Structure 1
């Protein structure tokens, strides 16, 4: 278990502020042992809550070209056919994962492939389960082209508390299944848009683990030109942009 880089500065600042606050309480309220104890315990609990939010567990990823892995820890809240209007402009199978403040908030690539499209959208901060959060909230959209030539879309969505989306990829990058591609702070949602013939392996209410839970299996191979499809070995050998 490590601490994610997105939380290191916040944790350092928080520790300094809380230590100074406790010294101030002890200085201005000498002899108030109960008050000092309550403040100390409250400070410790607050710091631990922030600390657990930025935890980054080490995981073992079993890569499989025919499997789409969960991009986030959380709970499956949507499984339905939906019109994807930004990139595909057609109906796709949507699987959405809600990330609560107690979940690990590291986002991982659901598949290995080439980043064909990436875009950041400024927006609102509706609650993550709101129907319009996918189109109205601050968000990022990433389209991955799999080795078979199939494409899937992954969308990070900020929620009412999540006011900071971070991403570490860009168009033209090649990525590995299970590696980090982003981070969302303090509660959020991640949508995955799959081909309609994908075999979804989760149900509403299921808990997911990023890079480990299998969301779906895709076995069909589309008709693609030889230069479009590529092997897992080729992806592995390409240069991945540094995080």
Structure 2
């Protein structure tokens, strides 16, 4: 299905398939599987069975399913699978605002809407670009490993900022944040790379969060408590400021 064009009028073809396992996770799955096999050969079934199930869990964590990315100049798609846990007006991170000496502008100063997506260990952890454009900035910052669901995790946890700029000058910044269990942010991109909307940009191991900073004048189309899907859920329409209410049921 990769690369196929589909639409809302029935064009294209859809079929279920097993998701692939990202190469970053295959080595961990093989290590746990090998240990499980050793215990099984030694007839230590008490340890072999749990390790066998752990192997399946590790492979599931690193699954990398295909996604159908909505195409539209105004769409900002979700960079992560997970739960919308925070929607707040904040100042964007200073690392995405300050002049970094490269000649590429950062985000404008001033309050913007931040949408925070919490990823549990059961979510897909491959992150994707919210818009198409050129990667103008990647900034890694070491830090703590507090619960990624906390507001202050945006400023105190280990994190990586990514800034993507479109050809028309629109810039979207987003931040991968490590959590209590997550201990490594793995980037797939570097400054100068050209991305399509929904293209894979990195992953965070074992539970974490991604913050998206929408441009001024743009409000999200998602609600607190909503589940979103990386590369598929439209977080916002650029320049649109809808007021949407939801009901939990």
TM-score tier by shorter-chain length is 0.7 to 0.9
1:14 alignment counterpart: 32
Q: Shift of residue 144 of structure 1?
A: 1.1
Shift of residue 39, structure 1, vs aligned partner? 3.8
Runs of 4+ deviating beyond 4 Å: none
- SS class of match (2:123): coil
What is the aligned partner in structure 1 of residue 81 from structure 2? 73
CA distance in 1, matches of 2:92, 2:206: 26
Aligned counterpart for 1:4 among listed residues 3, 22, 27: 22
Gaps of 5+ in 2: 1-18, 98-106, 241-249
Q: CA deviation at 1:148?
A: 2.6
Q: How does 1:92-131 map to 2 (within 5 A)?
A: 92-131=112-151
TM-superposed deviation, 1:219: 3.6
CA drift at 1:40:
4.1
Q: Which residue of 2 aligns with 1:60?
A: 68
Say which structure is richer in helix: 1
Residue of structure 2 in register with 1:182 after alignment: 202
Larger CA Rg, structure 1 vs 2: 1
**Alignment partner, residue 134 of structure 1:** 154
1:79-98 map, 5 Å:
79-86=87-94, 87=97, 88=107, 89-98=109-118
RMSD, aligned CA: 1.5
- The unaligned stretches of length 5 or more in structure 1 are 30-35, 221-243
Query: How many residues align structurally?
Result: 210
The match for 1:168 among 188, 196, 217 is: 188
Q: How far did residue 13 of structure 1 move? A: 0.9
Check conservation: 1:65, 1:147, Cα contact below 8 A.
no
Structure 2 distance, partners of 1:43, 1:174, is 41
Show CA shifts across 1:5-29 (max 9, x none). Answer: 11011111111111112222x1xx7
